[in-house]
Chain A
Amino acid sequence: MVFLENFYSFLLLVHLFATFVLVGSMTHNLFRVVDYLRGKFNREKLELLYVNVSLWAYVIVYVIGALIYPAFRVRIRPDFDQAIPWATGLFEVKEHWGAVGLALFFVYYFLRKSFQPNSEKEKLFLYVPLCFLLNIILWYKVIVSCYLTLLKGSW
């Protein structure tokens, strides 16, 4: 028996729902951050709320993902390794970027809490790229996960 194997489906579902919240809040955050680039700073509180929600959603997604990884490694990944090894490559990138993303998310959160975008615009030189990178990581993870699920379901 692999760690948490009996709860795999349930935890995967929670992982999925938390991902919905994460992608929604972080994508909306991106729109607000793009507004900063246009010189619009009238929705800073809303943007900060998106950052708060995104951080905790990411932590939940990450912890659950790490917990169910052993079951995935033993029961599901061997099928990919044998039939379509390139799919494992896509998955591995998702995991590496996800780990770096965790560090970036905490930095993003504390950075946002420490400054006011309207009065310290030079700090946007790190804040804005971090927002774009986090969205790239999230959307890569979502698209690859959906694609791998489709692949797995189609054989």
Chain B
Amino acid sequence: MKKSDTTYIIGSIFSAMTAFFYCCTMWFPIKLPRYYPLEHTWKWVNEKGVPSQGWYGMQAFAFLAAGIVTLVVYFFLKRGGTAILAVFSRAGSPCHTTLTPAQTKILGVVVTLIIVVCMAYMLYYEFDKWGIF
């Protein structure tokens, strides 16, 4: 597979997964570490009435989870993914498999939609939580 195609797929997966896993921290009660700036300490619980920051934990979770998925896809592409892509591709031989223009465009549109939906949900989540709506 062409290097630019690999970068395109890997980049697509990582950006979509980061947005998705970031939203997962809002959808599910995932326990994440919180920083307590007045105590200079990290805790796994959200203590009410004490200033704390969950943002570091949320992004660390999103980056790590997206990174793991991206690594899996990367190894999949390196090992046997080209053979599977060849089935969907008109290019033929697995060793010369490239993304077709149609596959590239569809992947780009799908990834863009996932990111937009996730960003819209983040906006809705906070606006709803803080009474802006």
Interface residues of chain A, those whose CB is within 8 Å of chain B, are 2-3, 66, 69-71, 73-74, 77-78, 85-86, 88-90, 92-93, 95-97, 99-100, 102-104, 106-107, 110-111, 113-115, 120, 122-127, 129-130, 133, 137
Give the contacting residue for A133; candidates B4, B38, B104, B119; CB below 8 A: B119
Given A90-B132, A99-B22, A133-B115, also A122-B53 (CB < 8 A): no
A142 CB to nearest B CB, Å: 16
Q: Is the interface of B mostly helix, strand, loop or mixed?
A: helix
Select the stretch in B74-82, B87-95, B105-113 that faces chain A: B105-113
Contact check, A73 vs B53: say whether CB atoms are below 8 A apart.
Answer: yes
Interface residues of chain B, those whose CB is within 8 Å of chain A, are 3-4, 7-8, 11-12, 14-15, 18-19, 22, 35, 37-38, 40, 51, 53, 55-56, 58-59, 62-63, 66, 101, 104-105, 107-109, 111-112, 115-116, 118-119, 122-123, 126-127, 129-132
B35 CB to nearest A CB, Å: 7
Contact check, A86 vs B131: say whether CB atoms are below 8 A apart.
Answer: yes
Give the contacting residue for B22; candidates A78, A96, A111; CB below 8 A: A96
Contact check, A100 vs B131: say whether CB atoms are below 8 A apart.
Answer: no
- When C-beta atoms are compared, the residue in chain A nearest to B130 turns out to be A89
Contact check, A104 vs B122: say whether CB atoms are below 8 A apart.
Answer: no
**Cα(A99)–Cα(B129), bound, Å:** 19
What 3 pairs between A and B have smallest CB-CB spacing? A89-B130, A125-B108, A126-B108
Give the contacting residue for A114; candidates B4, B62, B130; CB below 8 A: B4
**Cα(A122)–Cα(B104), bound, Å:** 6
**Cα(A122)–Cα(B38), bound, Å:** 51
Contact check, B123 vs A93: say whether CB atoms are below 8 A apart.
Answer: yes
**Cα(A70)–Cα(B39), bound, Å:** 11
